[in-house]
Structure 1
């Protein structure tokens, strides 16, 4: 009987002892440096670009806008309208014609 009690104790201890689980090694975390182009470029064109520089650079870089495909005037009007209505861009309505004219002049398609 004593032998059975010892065996039960050994068996219980073996079952209750935690066994190491298969553990994956944690991935190494490293830092990465990313060099982004400076965002301080203005739209070229002097005073003709004042409206777009004063309104659009808060959300867009000049480079991003100037790399868009050429679009007809109606499409640029629609895009500027979308920025105001959908994205709530705080653009004064009096600046819209100058912004559209600038976009048509620099990225317009006939």
Structure 2
């Protein structure tokens, strides 16, 4: 008997709350927009490893953006480069990783 009573209470509560249920608002429409991204042909400054960083990193990053990053240690730059490869699937040639890390370390850590 208590099971039937419980079912009845649940049904009554559901029916009594029904008028208070809010429904989704009006449908929305997605619109395509054109965004012009800044274009740059700036390369990384010459030096050991500049070919590796120009060939691998400029597809996604501008030289200006990379060179305006905070100062990091060699270990931190290695972690950043590996994050680009492992997390974001950057197609960096394995033989270029050390050259990129060394380049960034020289350019952005003062060392």
- 1:40 equivalent in structure 2: 41
Unaligned segments of structure 2, at least 5 residues: 1-35
1:92 aligns with 2:93: yes
State the TM-score, normalized to the length of structure 1: 0.63
Residue 39 (structure 1) shift? 1.4
8 Å CA contact retained: 1:41, 1:62: yes
Larger radius of gyration: 1
Residue 108 (structure 1) shift? 1.5
Instruction: State the alpha-carbon separation in 2 of the partners of residues 48 and 84 from structure 1.
Output: 17
Residue 45 (structure 1) shift? 1.3
Residue 48 (structure 1) shift? 3.4
- 2:71 equivalent in structure 1: 70
Instruction: State the alpha-carbon separation in 2 of the partners of residues 39 and 88 from structure 1.
Output: 23
Unaligned segments of structure 1, at least 5 residues: 1-33
Instruction: State the alpha-carbon separation in 2 of the partners of residues 48 and 75 from structure 1.
Output: 17
Instruction: State the alpha-carbon separation in 1 of the partners of residues 45 and 59 from structure 2.
Output: 16
- 1:17 equivalent in structure 2: none
The list of structure 1 runs, each at least 4 consecutive aligned residues, that deviate by more than 4 angstroms after superposition, is none
1:106 aligns with 2:110: no
Task: Report how many residues are paired.
Answer: 77
Secondary structure, counterpart of 1:45 in structure 2: coil
Give me the CA root mean square deviation: 2.1
- 1:61 equivalent in structure 2: 62
- 2:53 equivalent in structure 1: 52
